[in-house]
Amino acid sequence: MTRRKLIIVGDSAFAEIAREYFDADSDHEVVAFAVEQAYRQRESLHGLPVVAFETLAEQFAPSGHSVFVAVTYTQLNRLRARLSRAAREQGYGLASYVSSRAFVWRNVVLGEHCFVFEDNTLQPFVRIGDDVVLWSGNHIGHHSLIEEHCFVSSHVVVSGFCRIGAYSFLGVNATLANNVTLGRDNWLGPNTVVMKDTADGALFKTEQPEPARVSATRFFKVAA
């Protein structure tokens, strides 16, 4: 099998993770990392070159390479959106990754430049827009739509017939009830439960629980 050559944009932890998944569980082979020149601080990562994003096409021809932008939810997903758009303007195709350990029903529609980690469940008639990241362990319920440039953290539950607006961020363990429309540019903190439609630009933060406290230094005896 001829593997397609891929450049990862970014050199963060997500970039390292993306390289690992693409190399081990896809038909892509990562050949380089790219970072904007102003933020480029090293020449190589894991034995691969780290090159300036602005001059990427001079070293790796777009005709023979694809790009994945491994950036999380910085600037409410705007940075990832901007870099992926710039890569396309340089002539690169944008790659997606879907874990072989994710459950994706046969009629799910998946956009361009998405990353779907292991243990995600995407039920029938789900639609995922371009440039969406689904970290591990989420449930995306039937007939739901996630619009472009969203980031869904781990163990999020999106119930049936939901719509998640573009550029939104859903924190760990967030939950949407059935038939909920989440506005554009929403930010859901960890453990947030949404039961009704939200406006664009809404920010939801849950109250922090009391930190765990030591109630006893030892609650059972250890045999001598």
* Burial (CB count <10 Å: 0-12, 13-18, 19+), residue 75: exposed
* CATH 2.160.10.10-classified regions of the chain: 96-197
Region 139-156: what's the mean pLDDT?
98
CA distances from 81 to 117, 133, 197, 200, 220 (A): 19, 12, 25, 18, 54
Give residue 67's pLDDT band: very low, low, confident or very high (50, 70, 90). Answer: very high
For residue 184, pLDDT beyond 80: yes
Measured distance CA(33)–CA(7) in Å, rounded: 6
Give residue 221's pLDDT band: very low, low, confident or very high (50, 70, 90). Answer: low
Averaged confidence pLDDT in the chain:
94
Of residues 210 and 152, which shows the higher confidence score? 152
Q: What is the CATH number of domain 4-95?
A: 3.40.50.20
- Reference 127, options 88, 86, 166, 70; nearest CA is 166
For residue 5, pLDDT beyond 60: yes
For residue 97, pLDDT beyond 60: yes
Measured distance CA(18)–CA(184) in Å, rounded: 26
pTM of the predicted model as reported, rounded to 2 decimal places: 0.93
- Residue 147, classed as helix, strand or coil, is coil
Q: What is the CATH number of domain 96-197?
A: 2.160.10.10
- Reference 97, options 77, 78, 112, 81; nearest CA is 112
Q: How far from the centroid of its chain's Cα atoms is residue 28's Cα?
A: 18
For residue 119, pLDDT beyond 70: yes
Region 118-147: what's the mean pLDDT?
98
Give residue 211's pLDDT band: very low, low, confident or very high (50, 70, 90). Answer: low
* CATH 3.40.50.20-classified regions of the chain: 4-95
Region 142-163: what's the mean pLDDT?
98
CA distances from 116 to 202, 205, 219 (A): 25, 25, 43
pLDDT at 206: 81
Give residue 2's pLDDT band: very low, low, confident or very high (50, 70, 90). Answer: confident
Give residue 143's pLDDT band: very low, low, confident or very high (50, 70, 90). Answer: very high
